[in-house]
Structure 1
Amino acid sequence: MMKYKSKILLIILLISSFAAFGGAQLIYFTATSKDGNVILEWKALSETNLDYYLVERANSSGNFIPLARVEPRADKTYEFIDQTAFKSADAVYTYQLKIVDKDGSVSYSSKVSVAHSVSSVKRTWGSIKALFR
């Protein structure tokens, strides 16, 4: 009887570890710094009534700005490479997913943060590009 109860508890813990947000139930949402870019990866367990994801990054004032719209995929596995995270050395960037359903309702994933270091060349190039925006 005790073995049976522990298996049920383990199943409940596994199910509750998945985060449900509107039309998407996410298994994971991660951010890593690699080769001068920030790589976001997420996987959904299910997507019901999902229209699209909007990848957002917090700016210096803490407000989230949109970076990219990501359409649902059959395998529910996603990767977004933020090639614009280069303005400061050893910066911490915070990201979230805006989850938009087909009925127009909106929800948000949990936030993920990543410490991101870039070369001085890329940081300088990013500053030059910013002057011409």
Structure 2
Amino acid sequence: MHVPPGFAVVTPYIFAAEADAYVKFLAAAFGAVEIGRSTAPDGRIANCQLRFDTAAIMVSEASEAFPVSRAALYLYVADADGAVAQAIAAGAEQIMHVDDMPYGDHQGGVRDPSGNIWWVSQRKSPEPYF
């Protein structure tokens, strides 16, 4: 089995209204880097691959056949306070203030303009969760 570098056996795939604007939001909010894109004949995004450090997601323009999807994603960052502030500045809505969690993460939460929830987490403990 071949899995492309940076992708996992399970890779999040989000259908978004105004996918091009959503891709720009992901770059501004979380530093996502576009690594590939294919477009439909009308110019809309058919598939866009974005890298978040060591992980990747895919985004496509929503349609009647593939309506807007909602997901919750857990994003590890080096600085949760700064990353949440950056996401809010890019247009996300804060849904949970950044705080220390009992499982060893410093974490906050935002909802992106497409309605997805991002748990932005800075691991503070080298210990496993369980």
Larger radius of gyration: 1
Fold conserved between structures, TM > 0.5:
no
Structure of greater relative contact order (alpha carbons < 8 Å, 6+ residues apart): 1
